[in-house]
Amino acid sequence: MSSTILITGATGFVGSHLVKANLEKGHKVRALVLPGDPGVAQLQQEQVEIFYGDIRHYEEVKNAITPGTDIVFHCAAFVSDWGKRDIFEQVMINGTDNVCRASVEAGVKRFVKISTNDVFGTDESKVMDETCPLTPWNEPYPDTKLAAEEVAWKYYKEKGLPVTMVYPCWIFGPGDKTFVPHLADAILKKEMVFMRRNAIVWPTYIENLVDLLMLIAVDERAVGNGYLVHDGESTTLEEFTNSVAKSIGGKEVKTHIPYRIAFIVAVLMEFFGKLMGKKERPLLTTYMVKNLGSRLRFSIDKAKRELGWTPKISYRDGFAKTMIWLKTLDIQHLKQK
């Protein structure tokens, strides 16, 4: 049965894959995109209905989420480890409030929000699952993601908005605009160092994430629930990094620096960057050090148990597909943002 789908952040990594998946299902797809977004041309070729607007502006959101909209996938976010706090708050928190409010008024049947595994904090003493409390990092990105989630759950409890939350781990795959391209860029520029030996990475291949998103958008059991998602296995940052290096002809990364020293350096770089009014991100940020130096553990048993979902594509197969795509890019301009 065909449905009308609205996707915020439709030109982003996750959003663009969701567009494709919904079109393949025969759904009518609408996209809320920023004016001037270069990704609009591709959406227009795919016969996606375009609404121009900023999630920070309610009337623009309301114009896109109209009665008759069946499912809203809220993917739009300010994905960065560097930037002014108020930008994170406006996009993540105020933007989510606007999208939820418009969804309630339009009577949408399902509301699926992309959160992050970061919202469960940095406790390495246990395997984290969806029962763990939301815990701040004292970093703009995860903390405003956490606050945005609380906004969505408030609409679920007080307004009956049929919310489902998804907590992806390290998303990667063809079309990635942050994780793998930035990593490859650092490898080639010999800027990549390890902040902690055997830091853990939980890869989440994009097709596995989208597969779960499409399932929870129609499964009534998912309403009022949240689900962690990854490929079902972890690896180390060293293994992931040097597999990328091998694939693109880069030099194996062997440099390790103590976590505490890396964190102090990041603090100083951020301090002087802000003091000097620099817009570009520092070489090291505290969020990067915390993230790339963690040994956090995450379980996807809830999605398996409640929904019967399992990753369709193994980490190794997803990685191989990603490297084929990565080598089609201009190696000198890997960073896309």
Over the stretch 63-89, which tens digit does the pLDDT of each residue have?
999 999 999 999 999 999 988 899 999
> What are the pLDDT digits (tens) for 278-319?
878 888 899 999 999 999 999 999 999 999 999 999 999 999
- Identify the pLDDT of residue 177: 87
Distance CA 225, CA 239 (A): 33
- Distance, in Å, from the CA atom of 156 to the CA atom of 168, rounded to the nearest integer, reads 21
Q: What is the pLDDT of residue 1?
A: 76
d(CA 322, CA 172): 7
* Residue 333 pLDDT grade (very low, low, confident, very high; cuts 50, 70, 90): low
Vertex 91: Cα angle to 165 and 173 (nearest 5): 60
pLDDT at residue number 275: 84
pLDDT in tens, 213-240: 999 999 999 999 999 999 999 999 999 9
pLDDT at 146: 98
277, pLDDT greater than 90: no
pLDDT confidence tier of residue 332, bands split at 50, 70 and 90: low
Task: Give pLDDT, residue 337.
Answer: 38
Q: What is the predicted pLDDT for the residue at 336?
A: 45
Using pLDDT thresholds of 50, 70 and 90, give the confidence band for residue 335.
low
Confidence at residue 331, expressed as pLDDT on a 0 to 100 scale? 64
The token pair at 320 is 């191989």
Beta-sheet strand order (sheet of 163-168): 49-52, 28-33, 4-8, 71-74, 110-114, 163-168, 226-229
What mean pLDDT, rounded, does the chain reach? 95
**pLDDT (tens digit per residue) in 131-155:** 999 999 999 999 999 999 999 999 9
Q: Give the end-to-end CA distance of the chain in Å, rounded to a whole number.
A: 38
pLDDT of residue 131: 97
Report strand pairing: 200-201 vs 235-236.
antiparallel
H/E stretch holding 114? strand 110-114
Q: Could you say which of 1.10.287.610, 3.60.70.12, 3.40.50.720, 3.40.50.300 is the CATH number of the domain covering 4-172+204-233+297-313?
A: 3.40.50.720
Position 188 scores a pLDDT of 93
**What confidence score (pLDDT) does residue 38 get?**
92
Q: Where are the domains of the chain?
A: 4-172+204-233+297-313
Structure confidence by residue, pLDDT tens digits, 169-198: 999 999 998 899 999 999 999 999 999 999
CB atoms near residue 45 (< 10 Å)? 8
